[in-house]
Chain A
Amino acid sequence: MITAAKQLGFFKEEGLDVDIVAFNGTGTLLPQMTAKRVHVGYPNPDVLIVSRQPGKDPIPLKFFYNATRESAWEFVVLNDSPIKALNDLKGKKLGVGALTFGNIPITKAMFKEIGADVELVPVGVGAPAFLAFREKKVDGLNLFDSQHATLEVQGTVIRRLAMPQKYKSLFSNGFVAHEDTIKENPKMLAGFGRAIAKTSVFCEVNRAACVKAHWALYPDQKPAGDEAKAVADGIKIMAARFDKYLDFDDQKNRRWGEFPPQAWKDFAVALHEGGQISTKDVPVETCYTNALVPEFMKFDPAPIVARAKAAK
């Protein structure tokens, strides 16, 4: 949504000129955010909840937009692997993006709960991770949805291992800002969130146009060869994440960016039961705000739908 929002002009429409900067995991992004060098981030919630335990220094950030409304994290193995379930990973090597990735606490919690001692091996994302996986240097991968979709598009046949439902239904990356920014510049964040909501409306109608918008911004990422196949593959990769942006309980009354309060409580319980935090009673209400949601909703979707339908 970010690259499409930029390329399609939805940020500009909100008076924003957005620079996109890549970091290696939530653990490296958050210090830059607390130092206010980055205004908006897209991390996992785990680290913020961990910092709200009694006796810890709370990280002064808050989530203000619920983007990935279900878990983006998956466990996959090669199709011919003897591993059939998460428990079969006991004593095995599991490739993770990096030990600074935001999903690590919840991954550890999951294995602690099922009593499996699994070695987490940092393999990065993209080509190095895929190589380690295909050459069986790791027995499985625990990356995010669109990485595994990319593997499939590249022709590797994989199997996704079933996750306990309580972990599967946890939300993932959302938009976060410094508490001071939320107090001092809510207009900027409201515009950011509204641009994302508008882009979501556009991309739901015309996914191909969104894929092409991404390539227009990052032309080196456009695969060579058959354009129709490249677009179809691109849509599959995008859908792996984008469908989670649209996972509303009430599809007729989508509340863009809104967090269900219970989801945060469930997250804390999962981290506690997995031994990653000392108590489940962390003040999760300090981790997020829904205050800007009414601002995100202030747009008319009809002209965006019309524009998306007309886009090539």
Chain B
Amino acid sequence: MKTSTARLIAAALAAGFALAPAAQAQTKLVFGTVTSVTLSLG
């Protein structure tokens, strides 16, 4: 990492910004209800 980039990150952190986390892989899950989807599933 270049020193200038490192300084920028340090400055951002000091200013209270969080680094964006790496995109998390989501597990696909199929959920089956026994009726149409209504507020009772809310």
Contacts and interface: CB of A to CB of B under 8 A. Distances in A.
B42 A213 contact: yes
Contact of B25 (A15, A145, A213, A218): A15
Contacts of B34: 23-26, 29, 41-44, 101-102, 173
A238 interface: yes
Contact of B27 (A16, A150, A240): A16
Contacts of B22: none
Interface residues of B, number: 19
Given A3-B42, A15-B24, A15-B25, A22 B30 contact: no
Interface string B15-31: 00000000011111111
B29 A19 contact: yes
Interface in A31-62: 32-33, 37-44
Q: What interface size band does chain A fall in? A: 35 or more
Contacts of A18: 29-31
B31 A2 contact: yes
B40 A237 contact: yes
Contacts of B42: 1, 3-4, 203, 210-211, 213-214, 234, 238, 242
B14 interface: no
Nearest to B42: A214
A20 B28 contact: no
B6 interface: no
B38 A221 contact: yes
B5 to A, nearest CB: 30
A42 B33 contact: yes
Contacts of A194: none
Interface in A1-23: 1-4, 11-12, 15-23
Contact of A15 (B27, B35, B40): B27
B41 interface: yes
A144 B29 CA distance: 26
Given A12-B26, A17-B27, A42 B32 contact: yes
A125 interface: yes
Contacts of B33: 2, 20-23, 29, 41-42
Given A15-B26, A16-B27, A17-B26, A146 B40 contact: yes
11 contacts: A2-B33, A21-B33, A24-B35, A29-B34, A38-B31, A38-B32, A41-B34, A42-B32, A210-B42, A238-B39, A240-B40
